[in-house]
Every structure is written in C-alpha cells, then in structure tokens.
Amino acid sequence: GAGVSQSPRYKVTKRGQDVALRCDPISGHVSLYWYRQALGQGPEFLTYFNYEAQQDKSGLPNDRFSAERPEGSISTLTIQRTEQRDSAMYRCASSLNLRGSYEQYFGPGTRLTVT
Amino acid sequence: GESVGLHLPTLSVQEGDNSIINCAYSNSASDYFIWYKQESGKGPQFIIDIRSNMDKRQGQRVTVLLNKTVKHLSLQIAATQPGDSAVYFCAENGGRGGSNYKLTFGKGTLLTVNP
C-alpha cells in the first residue's frame, strides 16, 4: 500500500520567505510526527499529533515554526521568515497506535535549502 | 541521492559475515528502544524494537540485545548481505510509559558490506 508521502521533495527558497511543507500519512494512522534531520545525523523530534490534536511541540526550534493537522490526516509544517540555518531535511512519520503497534513509518522527506 | 554517511562511525564486513552494531543510550528512564535502517536517499525504516522488560529480541536475521546496567544496545545482523549496507540508528523513547512518540536518535553507524 501507499506509504507516507511528502511534498515538495525539494524546496529552495530565499531567506525571509515563508515555506509550507506537506505530509500525507498512511491512511488510518493516528499519530503523525515531524522530524528534522541534518546530514550525517539521526532525525531530531520537532512535534507530534494524535488525530488533529498537537500533543507536543517542544522540539520546534522557535516561534517561526508551526504545524497543523486540521482534519487529523494531512499535516503542514510552516516555517516563517526562513533563515539559512533552517536548511535541512524535514521528515514526517506516522504510526497506527493500536494494540501496541507504535512503529513509525517515515516519509522520503523534504530537502529545504534557504539561500 | 543524498549521503547520510558523512562523519559517521563505520563498520565494514564481508558478505556472509555477521555484523554487530553498537549504541550507547543516554536516558536511564527510557523503556522502549528501536533500531532503524536508513539507505541513501530514503527515510529511516523500522527494523526491530525492544522494551526494557526484555534483554533480547530476535527477528528475521536480526537480534537486538539490551543491557540496561550499562545503557547499551546492540544490533546483530546474521549472514550480512549487500542489501544491508546502510546507516543504522538506534532510538530511545525517554521513558514515557511505553509510548514511543518522542524518539531520541543516536548518531548512526554506516555499515558497508563488501561482496
């Protein structure tokens, strides 16, 4: 079946612009997670949703970062007034969370480059 | 595709040999641990997990060992194949009663399998 999808796969933007990254989780998955991954490093937690409720946003670096999942399915991670330090791979994952199945399935990521 | 192998600990093995990848975790409260495999240009892929009430768990060609005394996790891959070449990450959940939502990933190890 279809896995987690993310769009765009690559985004180049100028410093100061806003960007919106989209995540389409596996159908029926309760939880959705956003991570940021620097080259050569493991993913770093940003935020997490159960259905449409944002449960934890403690990993968001600052208030320029926000995320939403209004209908409990697709999620958008928005970065306002982008800075060069925001350049990274942004990954989304989803998990079923039923009967102890917490395995997170990762998407292919969006490579963000801020020039 | 992107490279996730820069500046990582590396392990090089011959095809058919057994591989052991080690990970030291930091949070003694963590009660759920996962190993992920990440191939170049792809998102992390779940391999196997283990809860803190176990010290060993086996999957298909893989075994995870957990030593809580020294906060050490290892992944053993039997009869390593070229398709096993990837970066391997361990992750811990920080002890949230078995939920795994906020994973903290280790630095990763690059496994190279020589034919």
Q: What end-to-end distance do the CA atoms of chain B give, in Å?
A: 22
Alpha-carbon gap: A99 to the closest alpha carbon of chain B (Å): 12
Residue spans of beta strands (DSSP E) within chain B: 10-14, 19-24, 32-38, 45-51, 56-58, 62-67, 72-77, 86-92, 104-105, 109-114
Q: Quick one: pLDDT at residue B2?
A: 40
CB A14 within 8 A of CB A87: no
pLDDT range class, residue B5, cuts 50, 70, 90: very low
For chain B, percent of residues with pLDDT exceeding 70:
90
Per the DSSP assignment, residues forming a β-bridge with A53 are: A50
Q: Quick one: pLDDT at residue B1?
A: 39
* DSSP assignment string, A45-83: EEEEEETTEEEE-TT--STTEEEE-TTSS-EEEEE-S--
Out of A47-61, B11-25, B34-48, B84-98, pick the least confident: B84-98
* Nearest chain B alpha carbon to A41: B107
Helix, strand or coil, per DSSP, at residue A85: helix
Predicted confidence (pLDDT) at residue B4 exceeds the cutoff of 60: no
Asked if A103 and B49 come within 8 Å (Cβ–Cβ), the reply is yes
H-helix or E-strand containing A5? strand A5-7
Structure tokens at A9: 């796969």
Distance CA(B37)–CA(B110), nearest Å, equals 10
**In the A/B pair of chains, how many CB contacts fall below 8 A?**
64
Predicted confidence (pLDDT) at residue B34 exceeds the cutoff of 70: yes
Query: Which of chain A's residues have a Cβ under 8 Å away from the Cβ of B94?
Result: none
Strand B56-58 to A110-114 pairing = unpaired
CB A36 within 8 A of CB A43: yes
Alpha-carbon gap: B73 to the closest alpha carbon of chain A (Å): 16
Asked if B91 and A42 come within 8 Å (Cβ–Cβ), the reply is yes
Q: Quick one: pLDDT at residue B100?
A: 63
Predicted confidence (pLDDT) at residue B89 exceeds the cutoff of 70: yes
A85-113 average pLDDT score: 89
CB A77 within 8 A of CB A23: yes
